[in-house]
Amino acid sequence: MLKKMTVAVPVAMVWTNPDSPRPMDGPVLKNPADIRAWLGCMTLDDKLDLCLANRVQTQVLYGASVLVTEESDGWSKVLVSLQGTRKDPLGYPGWVPSCQLVEAVEAPVDSQRAVVIADKTWLFKDSTLSEPLIELSYLTSLPWLKQSGDVVSVQTPTGMGYVKADDVRLRDDVGDGSGNGNGNVFQAPQAGVKHIGQAIVEQGQRFLGLPYLWGGMSSYGFDCSGFAYSMHKYFGIIIPRDASDQAKQGTLVEKEALEPGDLLFFAYDEGKGAIHHVGIYAGNNQMLHSPETIKSIELIDMSTMKLAKEHCVSRRYWK
């Protein structure tokens, strides 16, 4: 079984297996899902448990395509096509409640996409923008139908919707997770960007203070590799999902040649063990990263951080 489906909630949690969710996870197991309520009800220990108990694998955004390989008791085993991983060549694996998926609708031929560039924005029912339907995360990508003044009409998983033109940007084709694209999946969002690496850093600085979330791939919370992945994706650069895979691709960069936007990787046993963290080099011996559950996205001095002795390799994906 291999069936293409589309995510129909703002952010779908991709669980390790159907038994992974706890009673408190109810708000993000439904359709409509309420990620704000879910985040608001969890204690720090509850958030730590997402990692320690290996409950969550990743997230996938509204309108993205996934491949369903199995269905069982209201759950769908999925592969997230645009999130590269050594776990499966077809995409990142995990389980999603079947109620959060709908049959994929083909986008118009040669369609472009409206990609959310605001931190968050609302999808509205009609062009008057008077009836909000769903709050969309940064980097949500939907087929662009047309623009009328300050309103853009888009194709959603369940029909036509409308968004504020200022909160989205028109991109060429494919950043929907359909698996059609390799490498750059949409055009860089800003003409005349002279240093993409520096622009990646500046984009990431928008999220300073955003709390870490294990498995996070949205502007409701990122984990370390999800943050690196998303800041690159803004500029049309698709990198692997996990830090351990990110560290094996891209261009190797020696310490003395680091430039803003390069990725820094950290491993246990003072850099000799398994890779467990990634950050974005910000220049001037500083690093921008989403550190751990008890903290938020921060900019730190590399010489004083506790991870200093664990830096093992650096990679560059921008050019």
Instruction: Please identify every residue annotated as catalytic.
Output: 224, 277, 289
Token pair, residue 286, equals: 């500083």
Token pair, residue 307, equals: 């991870």
Nearest partner of 217 among 94, 59, 78, 65, judged by Cα:
59
Is-contact 319 258, C-beta < 8 A?
A: no
Which phi and psi angles does 171 have, rounded to 5°? -130, 155
For Cα atoms 119, 123, 129, give the angle at the middle one, nearest 5 degrees.
Answer: 110
Helix (H, G, I), strand (E, B) or coil at 287: strand
Nearest partner of 263 among 304, 284, 220, 232, judged by Cα:
232
Q: Which residues contact 300 (CB under 8 A, 6 or more apart)?
A: 286, 287, 289
- How many angstroms separate the CA atoms of 92 and 194, rounded? 33
- How many angstroms separate the CA atoms of 85 and 92, rounded? 6
Kindly state the helix (H) or strand (E) to which residue 50 belongs, with its residue range. Answer: helix 44-52
- How many angstroms separate the CA atoms of 310 and 292, rounded? 16
Is-contact 44 293, C-beta < 8 A?
A: yes
**Using the 8-state DSSP alphabet, how is residue 293 labeled?**
T
